[in-house]
Structure 1
Amino acid sequence: MIRKLEGVTIKMWLMFLISSQTIYLVMQTHSIPMIVKEAGGLMIFDVKPLGYSFTYAVKFLTRLSEEGYNVYTHVQLPLDFFFPLLNCLAGLCLFGLLIRFSHKLTGKSALTIHSSFSKIVLSLPLIAMICDYLENILILVMLTYQSAVPRGIVYAGNAFTITKSMATSLFYSLAIIIFILSCVSWIKKRRKKESIRGTFWG
């Protein structure tokens, strides 16, 4: 997989990015607002990055109407079946492009796609994807139990939700930091060349 990232193109990244964000937009503008409305204004489990308590879960499942259960089960979760994979692929392609961008700007090979640091960063979208799928499975189980949901199911789902959010946030934070550091390094390198050239001609 890592070797394949060396040949990633901007078109590939855009394809996964546009596909994932289109699904995300549909969820944000269609299925999620419908479920929230049917749950008396309570947010769905998927979009609570800081997690949720057992009390909140029972309250949500109690308030959720029959129509809300149907939308969550037959619209939201099927859409969220495709989103994690596409979002993960978009993240992996982004990092592959970022590594090449960094090399082009700085001319350094300290940060490579095969380095230990890169492997750790690349594991984050994969962790987020796996946790997203496990979260969806447990949400489906919670919807099946409704207000009689066991505590263990809620706690496990909450753990996967938080882990998914943390892995996603950390990945994009690191990507932004790498981008900024690459730009700063390029600016310093350019200024140094101009300073040397000015000293030589001076």
Structure 2
Amino acid sequence: MLEKILEHYQPFQPVVLFDPENDSLLAMDFTDRNTTLTAEILDDTQKFTDYVNQLLTDHECRFGIGGYAEHRTIYSRSEHFSTADEPRRLHLGIDIWGAPGTPVFAPMEGTVHSFRFNDIHGDYGATIILRHQLEGHVFHTLYGHLSLRDLEGLQENMRIVAGQQIAHFGDIPENGHWPPHLHFQIITDMEGNKGDYPGVCRYSEREKYLANCPDPNIILQMIP
């Protein structure tokens, strides 16, 4: 139901400033099919960052993108995604990889649902969650790996207008220790969470989480 409403509501304001006429996007694969992404690279955040930046440079792309419903090997780099019986590996959002400080905008009007500095290696780092309502349906958009300064002055229920700049891509010390990027996710039911919601789930729980977190490209409109 939410997907149909969002498709009907098009177009949204851009989440990042991307001109399809002049800018190129690089589809990035972080599954085990990508054999160039070695354990040595993943275990060193600076080497991982250099790897991403070199790919963007080599392909003359401003942004790298991808990841929704992708079963990723990269989460082995952090104990944050480990569990007793099954690790979390299935990605629930879309990542936009780019330069630190890249501005982030609200795609539609809403309010601040919550925010938090999730300061654990591999986590979101600085995080903002917005609440939206369309045709009586409430849903949320999550923005992870932001700059810590973007949380200053925020208040829950603060009104946000469509197209308003709300954040920036954070750098390594403040973004959960990842190469700079934005994790963008749609969440129907926050399930009582504030300032955080799983962006990665166990593969065995994929049906539940993918149903609650539809494809973010419905809003982003960046992947053909």
TM-score (norm 1): 0.29
